[in-house]
Structure 1
C-alpha cells in the first residue's frame, strides 16, 4: 500500500514538473519569437506614447511582412546594452530623405501625410543633406521631433532591417490608456 502511495505521489510530482517545464518553454518561445513587454522612458514619442507607458511589442509580424511607413517600431540602441528605442518609420528602403526648413521630404516631395510630428523640427541633423536609404535601411523619427534622438542623430542613424525587433502593438499600462497603438 505504501509503495502505491509513493508511486502516486511521484506520478503527481512528475506531472507538475512536466507542466512547469512546458510553461517555461512556451514562455521562452513567446518572449523570443512572438511578443515582448517594454516600457517607454522619455518623451520622444509624445503624444502617441508617454513616459512610463508599458507596451507589448509584436515580434512576429515582420517575419511575414515588411515594415511600413508610420509603423512605431522598437530597436536596440547600438551604444548601450539592454537599451531599446521606440520611434516611427518615416523613410523606407530605396528612398531619399531630407529635412528642409523643419519638414521631412521623401524623394524630394514634402511628406504632407506626416500628422505625427508634434512640431516643426529645429534641427535637421544628418538629414540636412539628402540621405539615400539602401534596400535594407529605414529612417525613423520620434513624434516629439525636437526632443528625440532618432535617425537625424549620428548615434542612431539609419536602421538596418535586421535591427528592427518589432512593432509596438498594445499599450497595457496605464490602464486608462489601454489599447492598440495607432499605425498608418
Structure 2
C-alpha cells in the first residue's frame, strides 16, 4: 500500500469519527435542551397513556434544573429559565422519595391549593371538579379478556378536560384527607385513579418540588401493544398501535 492510499484511509477514518462525534453532540443537545424520549411502563395514566407508548417530553417547558441533565449532576440549584407549569399538564418528574426514578402524572394541584378526594370525586379548594360519566374503557387483559372499566370526563377549573378511570368503587384513595400543596410544589395524580401511586401517597411520592419536574409530555411517537418488544420489527404490522402514533398528549 502506498503512502497516498494510507493517508486516504486514515483521512476517511478520521472523518467518520468526526461525524459520529458531532452526531453524538447534537443528540445530547436535543435530549438535554429540547426533547427527551420516554416510554410508559405502567397503567397509572390509562387511558391517556398506555403501557407500550413512547413519547417525547419537552425539556424547555418549565426551564431546566439539575434533573434536566444526564445523570442529574448537582451542578446548580433551582431552575434556569423557569416557567410555571399549568394545571392539567401531563409531566415527567423525579420521584422526590426516590430520585433515581422517573414518574409521569397529571398536574392537579398548584402551590397553596387544597386537594381532597371525596367518594371518588376530586375536590380543589373546597369545590368538586365536574366529571361526566361517559362510555366504558375496555381493557384488554394478557389472557385475552376484555374488561369494561367505568370512565369519566373530568374538567379542571382552567378548562383542561381529560378522561379518568374508576376501576374500584370506594377504592383506597377515593376518600382522603385534605392535602395542602406547599409553596414551590405540585400535586400530581394519575388518570387511572385506583391504580396510581401519586401525590396522594405521601410515603411514596407526596407533593413534588418544582425542581423535580423534567418536562411536559407532548406527543406519542411510537406505540406497541402491551407485552410486545420493540426489537421484534417483523411483528410491527400487527403489534404497532398505528392509531396512537403522533397523537398529542392531553
- TM-score tier by shorter-chain length is 0.7 to 0.9
Give the drift of 1:40. Answer: 0.8
* 8 Å Cα contact 1:91/1:106 also seen in 2: yes
* 8 Å Cα contact 1:98/1:106 also seen in 2: yes
* 8 Å Cα contact 1:74/1:84 also seen in 2: yes
- The 1-side partners of 2:14 and 2:213 are apart by 40
Say whether residues 1:173 and 2:222 are aligned partners.
Answer: yes
- Unaligned 5+ segments in structure 1 are none
Give the drift of 1:78. Answer: 4.3
Say whether residues 1:117 and 2:164 are aligned partners.
Answer: yes
- The 2-side partners of 1:111 and 1:101 are apart by 12
Give secondary structure in 1 for the equivalent of 2:165.
coil
Q: CA RMSD for the aligned pairs?
A: 2.4
Q: Could you tell me which residue of structure 1 aligns to residue 31 of structure 2? A: 31
* 8 Å Cα contact 2:182/2:207 also seen in 1: no
Alignment of 1:85-100 (within 5 A): 85-100=103-118
Q: Deviations over 1:110-167 (max 9, x none)?
A: 2222443223763337x82222222311111111101111110121111111111111
How many residues are paired up?
182
- The 2-side partners of 1:111 and 1:131 are apart by 16
- When normalised by structure 1's length, the TM-score is 0.86
Write 1 or 2 for the structure with the bigger share of helix. Answer: 1
* 8 Å Cα contact 2:37/2:57 also seen in 1: yes
* 8 Å Cα contact 2:44/2:196 also seen in 1: yes
Give secondary structure in 2 for the equivalent of 1:45.
coil
Q: Which moved more, 1:40-49 or 1:169-178?
A: 169-178
Give the drift of 1:55. Answer: 1.4
- The 2-side partners of 1:53 and 1:121 are apart by 29
- When normalised by structure 2's length, the TM-score is 0.65
- Unaligned 5+ segments in structure 2 are 64-80, 131-154, 157-161, 224-241
* 8 Å Cα contact 1:121/1:145 also seen in 2: no
